[in-house]
Amino acid sequence: EADIYQTPRYLVIGTGKKITLECSQTMGHDKMYWYQQDPGMELHLIHYSYGVNSTEKGDLSSESTVSRIRTEHFPLTLESARPSHTSQYLCASSEYRRPTAGEDNEQFFGPGTRLTVL
Amino acid sequence: QKEVEQNSGPLSVPEGAIASLNCTYSDRGSQSFFWYRQYSGKSPELIMFIYSNGDKEDGRFTAQLNKASQYVSLLIRDSQPSDSATYLCAVTGRNSGYSTLTFGKGTMLLVSP
């Protein structure tokens, strides 16, 4: 079944630790995204990718980094976690189509990772 | 001015009523418009998308787009308690050449039995 997966679902970790949040999709999508969402707040795009070896920064500045070595895999890494990184991290994917008549960007989300940094 | 504006609510409607959710956006260049539903503690799920002016219907849901007024809405007919959630409006964003989405803060909908 085509889907998008994130692991871990919940992570509690101490300050200064290096962490990697995993995201994989079996939907055959080229574009992938990472969002950050605090409770009651809007989603903020922090990274996205058009395909293999493509990574772009989003609207919200983030200390995290991403890589795209395989089409289906888009991990996010924090080299040194801090309490300010506590948030919900959501991964999404979409097909890559040249916008014609406005058609693009139907994004599908994974279940999310809730990160708490103590 | 925020790029995507939504009334945070909560919008309370009785079961069986029509719920009307509204969204305005600031960038006239935006071409694609999406409505997502997000239950508390869950990730967003796509309900509808609309690209052209006018109405688009899918079951109990109707999306309406007016690009001249920079306004998009979502109507939910025969509202059910299971429709209680936060509804997110998203539009293509200028910063990425319209290849990514900018989300509003969402409107919380409460449907009472």
* pLDDT tens figures, A52-108: 999 999 888 788 999 999 999 999 999 999 999 999 999 999 987 655 544 566 899
What b/e sequence results for A15-38 when a residue is b if at least 16 CB atoms lie within 10 Å of its CB, and e otherwise?
eeeebebebbbeeebbbbbbbbbe
Structure confidence at residue A101 (pLDDT): 47
| CA–CA dist A60, A43 (Å, integer) | 10
% of chain B beyond a pLDDT of 90: 77
% of chain A beyond a pLDDT of 70: 92
Task: Specify the 3-state DSSP secondary structure of A108.
Answer: strand
Comparing B10-19, B45-54, B92-101, the range with the smallest average pLDDT is B92-101
Q: B14 pLDDT exceeds 50?
A: yes
Mutation site, B28, B99, B105, B107, interface A, largest A CB count within 10 A: B99
Whether A112 and B42 lie within 8 Å, measured CB to CB: yes
| CA–CA dist A17, A25 (Å, integer) | 26
Q: A5 pLDDT exceeds 50?
A: yes
Whether A109 and B45 lie within 8 Å, measured CB to CB: yes
